[in-house]
Structure 1
């Protein structure tokens, strides 16, 4: 099993942050299915202010590229991702159109 850590910022408006959190209390079943089908065995998102931190535990077969390609053909995932852009903003230094940015591990005990 492999673990990834990613970061993203939300638009810094309390009402939008509250809406975003609400969506993530009841994620659409199609989105949960697409996450699991991609080989993601566990996913957690943490929030501090408008900063998000995600931890993903994935199978050895998982690939970000494969997931992105499959997501492009899934209308429900596209609907979810388009909706989430209302709340999300790219981190400084993120590539054009990039949402979640992969973080580098710099310490482990």
Structure 2
């Protein structure tokens, strides 16, 4: 199966307490959430952080419908939808996002490869 990487960014609400809670949740992601990711077809999800900025890199099948994958993951268990609701309380859009918009895709504009 051919895969591709996609990168998304979001800010955490700029409060130290919120940030620490968010990080604690991600030390033990609920098993139902990860099972939902598997069912939806995600190959890999990696989160990076700099202060309140979170960068998420996902590896998915080429041409995957990310909205459908998200619905499949969330539909796996009521706990998945609960997780998403809970996490959204910690997230805020980066500058330039619309009101209520959180995760946005960061498009590549340069790549170096040693071939």
> Which TM-score applies when normalising by structure 2?
0.84
What is the aligned partner in structure 1 of residue 41 from structure 2?
39
RMSD, aligned α-carbons: 1.7
Conservation of the 8 A alpha-carbon contact between 2:33 and 2:73: no
1:13 to 3, 15, 22: 15
- Structure 1 or 2, whichever has the larger Rg, is 2
List gaps (5 residues or longer) in structure 2.
Answer: none
Structure-2 change in CA distance of 1:8 and 1:92 (3 Å): same
* C-alpha distance in 2 between matches for 1:32 and 1:72: 10
TM-score relative to the length of structure 1: 0.88
- Separation (CA, whole Å) in 2 of partners of 1:102 and 1:90: 11
Q: Shift of the alpha carbon at 1:61? A: 6.2
Q: Which residue of 2 aligns with 1:65?
A: 67
User: How many residues are matched?
Assistant: 109
Query: Which residue does 1:51 correspond to in 2?
Result: 53
Provide the C-alpha distance between the structure 1 equivalents of 2:70 and 2:6, rounded to a whole number of angstroms. Answer: 16
Deviates more, 1:96-105 or 1:4-13: 96-105
**Taking structure 1 as reference, are residues 29 and 4 closer, same or farther at Cα in structure 2, changes over 3 Å only?**
same
